Structure 1
Amino acid sequence: MAISVETFFLNPDAQGTLQAQIQQMVAEGILSGRLRQGEKLPSTRKLAQHLRVSRITVTLAYTELLANDYLSSKGRSGYFVSDNAPEPLSFPPRPEAEEALDWSRAIGQRFSGGTPHTKPRDWARFRYPFIYGQTDPTLFDHANWRLCALQALGQKDFEPLTSDYYDQDDPELIEFIARHTLPRRGILAEPEEILVTMGAQNALWLATQVLLTQRRTAAFEEPCYPSLRTILNQSRCHLAPVGVDGEGLIHQDIPPETDVIFATPSHQCPTTATMPLARRRALLNKAREINAVIVEDDYEFEMSFAGAPSPALKSLDGDGRVVYVGSFSKSLFPGLRLGYLVGSRPFIREARALRASVLRHVPGHIQRTAAYFLRLGHYDALIRRMSGVLSERRRVMSEAMDLHGLELAGQSGTGGSAFWMRAPEGVNTTELAAQLQTRSVLIEPGAPFFESGSAPQNYYRLGYSSIPASKIPEGVRIIGEALRNWP
């Protein structure tokens, strides 16, 4: 790889001849690790022009570095950092400087803290990764995604690739969402009622910022998606956690002063409970009674392989009080960060303006690539393939859990890609997860899904989207063995 000439500059306060300064500049780059073995240096002509010195000065400096084995020369190919160049120096940690500014007072709002909900970055190296939301490379249609990406990068799509949409979105993606994706959930929406977001989490943040203030109250499920609680805390609104049961959010427990209700009716996060139609209607009636808005996160409706999905709350909404959150990141791959909001025009208008002030819009080439992937039928084919595989994994996992005595705490009636589990009383699943990692098994502790002050310690989640069916029985056996031998 060639090193950019713009990374070189002479220190105006340096001592010595120009030749010596150039030698020192290159040597220090090698010793600091900034210039690495095998990397190509700029030509003598380019570096001389950049530094505004004579070419012979740079040539003499390179020649001296060549003699000292800092550089090597490969015929007419130029100069490279030598394979025999000194290794970068190892420096002791720099002592912390005393900063004059008191950052504890300078920071106006804090966004760190809370119970972390993370997965190991190297999760794929574990033999039994029972984690949720990661992509199985054996299922993803990489070939057709690459072809769609190449098509989106072509001359025909130069405008969507390079244009600043400002506060708008790719019309082809919006059209597909309006004409194909939403009707499958019983939702009819105009383009002006749809906003593309950087995934479902960005959609939830936009909704929170638009709908909530410090004086308003948000009701949300307990347990719930950890990042939603973080977003709500950041908004400084009043929080009203509401319990869930086997049918999802218990609407009778929603406080009358609630302004916004956050719910995951298709697959409650994390219990996976599916809210039946009768309760969905009751939730809408409750919201109408207290004049609240509902934010419906329909994050995994495509994975309804065990039964037909219930109608979306938004499809049952007769007075426009439901804001719908959808995502392609869960069904395609999490790194895509592509979701959408559907709501009444006044709401979308404000969400669009807020998005424009923060990030303008989702990159055009990402939107156009996704539009091609959806429009050409690759997405539907992928969902069918994933549904078949996940259905089989769910069956194998259910049998293995029964065999080894694992207790199920919640189950969706329509599918999904995870089980919500309960360990025996006294088991700390955070400690259990650490113990299982040493045996190449990954599970997700349940504590981050609850309020930190009252979080039960014996819940955990087992995902099956990233583990082959052939490995599930042995992985479940190891979990069962660890539970039987606890502590």
Structure 2
Amino acid sequence: MPIPAEAFFLPPGTAGTLQSRIRSMVVQGVLAGRLRPGDKMPSSRGLAVHLGVSRITVTLAYADLVSSDYLSARGRSGYFVSDTAPRAPEFPSAPARDEGVDFAALTGARFSKQARLAKPEDWERYPFPFIYGQADPALFDHQNWRACALRALGRRDFAALTSDYYERDDPMLIEQVLRSILPRRGIAARADEVLLTMGAQNALWIAAQVLLGPGKRAVMENPGYPGLRAILEPSGTEVLAVDVDENGLPPERVPAGVDVVFTTASHQCPTNATMPVARRVALLEAASRQGFVIVEDDYEFEMSYLKPVAPALKSLDREGRVVYAGSFSKSVFPGLRLGYLVASPSFIAEARALRAMVLRHPPGHIQRTVAYFLADGHYDALINRMRVAFRRRRQVMEEALAEQGLNMAGQGGFGGSSIWMRASDGVDTETLAAQLRAEGVLIEPGRAFFHPGRASRQHYRLAYSSIAASRIPEGIARIAQALGRMH
């Protein structure tokens, strides 16, 4: 039967080109069963007039649908829904069910109860997003990333795109990590000492699973990365929180009898403190003396633009006691979900076997795209552009904070993309964050960074990775005004 043009409409606000939106509209109609095999589609001219688009746009969409076997062209008769078009499976409607299993009791809510940073999914619509870890599209190299991704989709790289590597990684990306990334941290490694991961979080999880468990003891920094605590506490590991100072984790405060020490030496999370070389050496000496392993989360070393970056703990390691975790999430974009572990071959072999049980390996296309992005020099150009922008934003933020009289709790001397703040006594920054959100300002309350038994509600973090420099002064002024009202 003929389908009238009036049966189609383009919802406002949907993403994509007009051609792709028309194609999607027809595909959804076919899969939903509204458009049945043999139904005659409106003419390209009639649908174009109805939708208010050019005829060529509809013609191109129809041609694409023919190539995908959703439509068939019958000479001068027009376009019809194909007799062999894909169809959605037909299932009976699911009956209403009573929840017969108390999964909260069964699982103990070991994972969902962990404290985490709450970040709104629609953060981009807020005019003053002082939140950490999001990419700024104004800084990203869209054109060259797209070119590398298209290159990785080519016939020449078909095997890298489609193959199951089993436990292996893309040798091209491993070579780039060994030659381009690790040397700038002073680390010399071999291919059997590197494992790719699905970001730093996955790297930390793998390290914890391999090294820890019930009966083991681990040290984490306080305040420290909440995602690490969420990994350690459900594992049965005894977690010991060691307070950091202006130079990061003090080695003399590490208690005896621990198995693993986790540290963010280059840019302490969240205070941005950088551990001096002498303290790094002292921490390695303590590890040798007391017999513990160090997991070094070097999550933001590229963002050292105020002073030259200090050498990684791993570069000073002479006994293989350091497991090094790095990530492309902060330097490229967080949705990439690609990181790496560097450690002794025996550790990497165990970690590789664990990764194979869970996810085999990161997607081949992502690995090859990043390999090209590194090999062609686009990564270094992106890092340089980000350093220049972050240096400017930090300067603007420090000036705005000084003008408003707000207190920095941890400035950090090497750079980074955030500043650790402290409100006056009696101020609950979670309440502050809720009030500011209503005014278009997003901040990160600090309670989640602290050990539950020693939590502080007066700290908060302000990041400048995804906010333009021109917006920073007004955003800081709104924070100061909200704090003034709370006093």
* TM-score interval, normalised by the smaller of the two chains: 0.7 to 0.9
Aligned to 1:138: 138
Counterpart Cα distance in 2 of 1:170 and 1:145: 18
Aligned to 1:77: 79
Counterpart Cα distance in 1 of 2:177 and 2:31: 49
Counterpart Cα distance in 2 of 1:269 and 1:326: 14
Q: 1:454 offset after TM fit, Å?
A: 2.8
Note the alpha carbon deviations across 1:373-423, whole angstroms, 9 max, x for none.
000000000000110010011011001000001100002111000000000
Q: 1:197 to 1:217 in 2, by over 3 A?
A: same
Aligned to 1:373: 373
Counterpart Cα distance in 1 of 2:118 and 2:96: 29
Aligned to 2:56: none
Counterpart Cα distance in 2 of 1:105 and 1:441: 38
Note the alpha carbon deviations across 1:308-334, whole angstroms, 9 max, x for none.
011100000111100000001110000
Q: 1:76 offset after TM fit, Å?
A: 3.1
Alignment of structure 1 residues 129-208 onto 2, 5 Å: 129-208=129-208
Counterpart Cα distance in 1 of 2:287 and 2:268: 18
The one-letter code matched in structure 1 to 2:478 is I
Q: SS of 2:30's equivalent?
A: coil
Aligned to 2:319: 319
Alignment of structure 1 residues 37-116 onto 2, 5 Å: 39-41=28-30, 76-78=78-80, 97-104=97-104, 106-107=106-107, 110-116=110-116
Indicate conservation of the 8 Å contact 1:206/1:351, yes or no.
yes
Q: SS of 1:360's equivalent?
A: coil
Q: 1:114 to 1:175 in 2, by over 3 A?
A: same
Note the alpha carbon deviations across 1:281-324, whole angstroms, 9 max, x for none.
11111111110000000000000000001110000011110000
Counterpart Cα distance in 2 of 1:485 and 1:42: 55
The CA RMSD measured in Å over matched residues stands at 2.5
Q: 1:111 offset after TM fit, Å?
A: 1.6
Q: 1:109 to 1:425 in 2, by over 3 A?
A: closer
Percent of paired sites with the same residue: 56
The one-letter code matched in structure 2 to 1:143 is Q
Q: 1:255 to 1:42 in 2, by over 3 A?
A: closer
The one-letter code matched in structure 2 to 1:269 is C
Q: SS of 2:480's equivalent?
A: helix
Q: 1:107 offset after TM fit, Å?
A: 3.2
Indicate conservation of the 8 Å contact 2:296/2:314, yes or no.
yes
Q: 1:211 offset after TM fit, Å?
A: 0.4
Counterpart Cα distance in 2 of 1:43 and 1:218: 53
Q: Which is further off, 190-199 or 105-114? A: 105-114
Q: 1:255 offset after TM fit, Å?
A: 1.0
Note the alpha carbon deviations across 1:209-264, whole angstroms, 9 max, x for none.
00002111000101111010000012111111101010001211111111000000
Indicate conservation of the 8 Å contact 1:199/1:338, yes or no.
yes
Counterpart Cα distance in 2 of 1:283 and 1:77: 73
Aligned to 1:119: 119
Q: SS of 2:240's equivalent?
A: strand
Counterpart Cα distance in 2 of 1:437 and 1:77: 51
Counterpart Cα distance in 1 of 2:27 and 2:207: 50
The one-letter code matched in structure 1 to 2:377 is G
Aligned to 1:32: none
Q: 1:453 offset after TM fit, Å?
A: 3.6
Q: SS of 2:341's equivalent?
A: strand
Counterpart Cα distance in 1 of 2:346 and 2:480: 52
Counterpart Cα distance in 1 of 2:81 and 2:32: 7
Q: SS of 1:319's equivalent?
A: coil
Alignment of structure 1 residues 368-447 onto 2, 5 Å: 368-447=368-447
Q: 1:172 offset after TM fit, Å?
A: 0.6
The one-letter code matched in structure 2 to 1:224 is G
Q: 1:451 offset after TM fit, Å?
A: 2.1
Counterpart Cα distance in 2 of 1:38 and 1:371: 35
Larger Rg belongs to: 1
Aligned to 2:298: 298
Note the alpha carbon deviations across 1:109-153, whole angstroms, 9 max, x for none.
732112231211111111111111000000000110000000000
The one-letter code matched in structure 1 to 2:139 is L
Q: 1:333 to 1:104 in 2, by over 3 A?
A: closer
Counterpart Cα distance in 1 of 2:456 and 2:102: 37
Indicate conservation of the 8 Å contact 1:43/1:79, yes or no.
no
Aligned to 1:341: 341
Note the alpha carbon deviations across 1:127-186, whole angstroms, 9 max, x for none.
111111000000000110000000000000011101100000000100011112111111
The one-letter code matched in structure 2 to 1:327 is S
Q: 1:180 to 1:463 in 2, by over 3 A?
A: same
Counterpart Cα distance in 1 of 2:214 and 2:28: 54
Q: SS of 1:439's equivalent?
A: coil
Aligned to 2:331: 331
Indicate conservation of the 8 Å contact 2:193/2:345, yes or no.
yes
Tell me the TM-score normalised to structure 2 length: 0.82
Q: 1:137 to 1:98 in 2, by over 3 A?
A: same
Q: SS of 1:386's equivalent?
A: helix
The one-letter code matched in structure 1 to 2:335 is G
Q: 1:100 to 1:468 in 2, by over 3 A?
A: closer
Indicate conservation of the 8 Å contact 1:170/1:367, yes or no.
yes
Counterpart Cα distance in 2 of 1:135 and 1:483: 28
Aligned to 2:270: 270
The one-letter code matched in structure 1 to 2:352 is R
Aligned to 2:17: none
Counterpart Cα distance in 2 of 1:233 and 1:79: 56
Note the alpha carbon deviations across 1:401-458, whole angstroms, 9 max, x for none.
0000110000211100000000001111111011011111111100111123431111
The one-letter code matched in structure 1 to 2:305 is F
The one-letter code matched in structure 2 to 1:132 is Y
Q: 1:104 offset after TM fit, Å?
A: 4.5
Q: SS of 1:274's equivalent?
A: coil
